[in-house]
Amino acid sequence: MASRAVPVVTTHYKEPPALVPKETFATWLANALKENRSTKPSSHLGGLSLDKEETSILLFGQNQIHCATDLPADVKASITAIDCDKSDYCNSLFPNRYRTNLRFLCGGPEKLLEDAKKFQNLFFVRSSFNDQSIENLLTTIENSSNCNSQIVLEDLFSVNSELSANLGFGFEKSGWNYKLKLSSLECLSLKEQSSEFLQECQIISGPLKKAALKNPCLVDHFNKLNLLISDLKNGTFRSQRLVLRKTKKTSSLTWTDKPEEEQCNLIMLSGGLDSIFILWDALANTKRKILAHHVELINGENRHQIETEACNKVVDWLKIHCRDFHYNSSTIDRTNLSHFGMDLAAVGFEAGLAAQSYSQRTNETVDFWQIGHCLDEGHGWPMLWANVLNCAKAGSFPFDPPRYLERELIPKAEQRRLMPEEIVAFSWGCRRPIEENGLTKACGLCKTCKSRQAIGLD
C-alpha cells in the first residue's frame, strides 16, 4: 500500500474592496502580490504532488479559493478550500459533478470549522497580510490538526507593535511568541525568507509609483510600501517560515467571534499592586468592557478595611484618568473560623458569582476573568491554580464560567515602573497590619511586605 502524503493547509488574505479609496494598505498589498504571482497560480504550493490522488490540500482564505479555481484541470490531488464569504459562490461555480476532487467549505480563522474531524494529521502552510487575531489563527490550527501534526506558517513578523498597527498587517513578534506558549503547539524550526519577500515588494513598487501620480488615493499606499521595504532591509519586519507541531499539551487559547470592544473582562481587585496593575493595563491597553470586583475578606488578619479603602481610591482615580468601568464588591466574614482557607479559592468562587450576577443584570456575557499575579510569585502556583479554577466553576454553576484570560507575567518591579505612581501609592500589601497611634501600618515582616520592600515600597 502506498504511503499517504501529508496534507497541506494554506491560509491567505482577503480580496480588496472594489473601490481603491476604501482599500487598506494590507488589502492593496495582498492584491498587488497576487497579480505579480498570477503567472504561477500554484507556485506557493511548490513541492506538493498535485498529480497524486493521495495528496490532500486544505486552503484557507478567499484568495486561496481563487488559487484553487486557477489550478489546472488535470490536478488529481484532493483540494478543500475554506472561507467564510465565498464558499457558496464557488460551490455554484464548480459543482462537485464537474470536479469531484475540489470542494468549498465555510470556516477559517473568522469561523471555526464545524467538523474538524475530517482534517486530521494536516500539514499547514500559511501566508497572510491581514491583521487577524493571533489567538483565532492558532485556535483554528489546533481545531484542525491532530497531535504530532506538522504545521508550517509563513508570515510577516514585526519587532515593533506600533509599526504593525500602522501598516495594518503582520504579527508583533512578542505577542506571537506569548500566544504560541499558551497554545498546544511547539516550534520545531524557523527559516528566514525576508530577502525573497523584499524582492517582490520592490517589483511592485515601480508600478505603484506611476499609479500614485494619477490617483492620489494611492500615495499613502506608496509611502507605506516604502516604509515596509525599508523595514525589511533593516530587519524591523521579517518574513519567516515556522515549522510547528501539535502536541498533547493543554491549550489556554479560545476562539472568539467577538471584536475586542464587545468583549467583557472581569478583574478581581484586591487592592494589592498585582491586581491594580491588571486593572490599569486592561483599561489603558485594551478596548474590552471592564467589570472590577473586590472581595472584602474579613478574618483574623484584620486587613479588610485598609484593602477596601485602597480599592476605592484606585477605582476613583482610574475612572477619572483612564475610562469608566463597572465596579462592585462582596463580603465574606470568617471572623469566627480559625482556618479561613486560601484567599484565591474564595476569590475564584466570588468571580463565578460576580460574572453571572453581571450577566443577569445586563444581559451581557462576561467573556474573561483575571486576578493579579506576578512573575516573582510563581512557586506553588500550578497546584493552587487548579483549585481556583474549580472554585470559579462552582460559583458560576449551573452556568459556564468565563474563561480565565492568561497574560504574560512580569516582575513586580516592572509593574511598578509601567504604572502611574499615583495608583502605585494607593496600593496595599501587608497581610498583618498593625494599629499604631490610631493609624493602620504595614507590619514590615510578612511575605508581601518584604516583596514590596524589595522594589522600594512601604
The string of DSSP codes covering 392-440 is HHHHHTTSPPPEE-------HHHHHHHS-HHHHHH----SS-EEETTEE
Q: What domains lie within the chain, and their CATH numbers?
A: 8-246 (3.40.50.150), 260-411 (3.40.50.620)
- Confidence at residue 314, expressed as pLDDT on a 0 to 100 scale: 97
d(CA 419, CA 424): 7
Percent of the chain with pLDDT over 90: 33
Question: Three cell numbers at 425?
Answer: 501609592
Helix (H, G, I), strand (E, B) or coil at 185: strand
Residue 90 has pLDDT above 70, yes or no: no
CA distance 17 to 22: 7
The answer, yes or no, to whether residue 225 has pLDDT greater than 60, is: yes
Task: Indicate if the pLDDT at residue 137 is higher than 90.
Answer: no
Q: Rg of the chain over CA atoms, in angstroms?
A: 26
Please, what is the angle between helix 304-321 and helix 273-285, to 10°?
20
* Highest mean predicted confidence (pLDDT) among 217-221, 256-260, 368-372: 368-372
pLDDT at 122 over 60: no
Q: How many CB atoms lie within 10 A of CB 246?
A: 23
Q: Would you say 44 and 127 are in contact if contact means Cβ atoms under 8 Å apart?
A: yes
**Average pLDDT along the chain:** 80
Residue 398: cis peptide before it, omega within 30 degrees of 0: yes
If you average pLDDT over residues 231-251, what whole number do you get?
Answer: 85
Cell of 42: 500554484
Which of 410, 423, 414 lies closest to 455 in space, CA to CA? 414
Least confident of 95-99, 225-229, 251-255, 313-317: 95-99
The 10 Å Cβ neighbour count of residue 331 is 12
pTM over 0.75: no
Report how far apart, in Å, the C-alpha atoms of 33 and of each of 30, 164, 209, 438 are: 5, 19, 15, 72
Span 330-379, pLDDT tens digits: 999 999 998 988 899 999 999 999 999 999 999 999 999 999 988 887 64
